[in-house]
Structure 1
């Protein structure tokens, strides 16, 4: 096993000396995402900084921020509806699509905060999964591992000089994981390029001096 100094926590504040978000910070950001609930109460429209939500009527679906859905769920004032992509059958299909694209390392389009939202709902609203929580956890984990494998393979394939790196359809948590590597790698590429440019300028100066002495 690697020494603590060699292996950093995956979701720590620092990875290899680079600043990253913690898992809790990313979950906090994800709680602004909208989700559908079935209210068990009546109330007028509510104005928030992000816009108005409601009105609320019993058994009438309404979209609210995830953080509010969780608060209402804790007070048994609503039922949280799973996002369509988090239903077990959809997760199975998403996993199949990721496996089909494994060879070309293509990441399929996915919700930006899929890991955070899934984790939050597993922890705080498990009853929303209608008895499929365990199976859904496995599917989400499998999807995460498939995508991580593709990302790591893509990063290993970086050429010696890469002024920019483009990996499409990356989620928030995935960006957070690879940020330290990308920052350090691109800094090294820049340093090497600057050294190469300086060497080229020095060589040209020597050649010019020799030509002038002829």
Structure 2
């Protein structure tokens, strides 16, 4: 399990309990409950999954799940920038729900489109730095990127900065030899 999936487990989801527990659960992340049969209540994803595995609740799909096809269409139309994600941990939440229920929600096109836009933005930034004789590294805007998407391009950015440093060192050595 990656860090982003771990963080997604703290996101609140709605459950419909099948049990009665009149007290509140006092947890580090907050107080949850009381639990009454058929009365929806919000709890962290990890608690919802544990209760579901014990047949003590049903998990209500987040409202944004039903909007994924529309969001996917909008992102396909917008190729230059990332549109706001449906949820900060949307991919991880879908993965957790898929693991729990064994059903996949088809959104791979949306995920791939967002990753392609991110990679394109990073490549453009480094291409500009390489083309610029002063090796100036300009701005890159990654508005609306989720933590998982930023983690995805972390390696790409790291390699880009290493390559940029090599180019700068080479340019400095060449300049010092020119004056000697």
Q: 1:151 aligns with which of 95, 118, 122?
A: 118
Whether 1:63 aligns to 2:42 is yes
- Equivalent residues in 2 for 1:1-214 (5 A)? 23-43=1-21, 44-87=23-66, 90-102=67-79, 105-110=80-85, 111-126=87-102, 133-134=103-104, 137-138=105-106, 140-158=107-125, 159=128, 160=130, 161=135, 162=137, 165-196=140-171, 202=176
Q: TM-score w.r.t. structure 2 length?
A: 0.82
Secondary structure of the residue aligned to 1:157 is helix
RMSD between aligned alpha carbons? 2.3
Gaps of 5+ in 2: none
Higher RCO structure, 1 or 2 (CA under 8 Å, sep 6+): 1
Secondary structure of the residue aligned to 1:79 is strand
Secondary structure of the residue aligned to 1:180 is helix
Bigger radius of gyration, 1 or 2? 1
Separation (CA, whole Å) in 2 of partners of 1:67 and 1:164: 38
Separation (CA, whole Å) in 1 of partners of 2:165 and 2:8: 34
TM superposition shift of 1:92: 0.9
Separation (CA, whole Å) in 2 of partners of 1:146 and 1:185: 22
Q: TM-score w.r.t. structure 1 length?
A: 0.70
Report the number of matched residues: 170
| The 10-residue stretch of structure 1 (157-166 or 34-43) with the greater mean CA deviation from structure 2 | 157-166
What are the Cα deviations for residues 123-146 of structure 1, in whole angstroms up to 9, with x where unaligned?
2035xxxxxx45xx22x1111111
Contact 2:17 2:39 in 1 (8 A): yes
Q: 1:185 to 1:164 in 2, by over 3 A?
A: farther
TM superposition shift of 1:25: 4.0
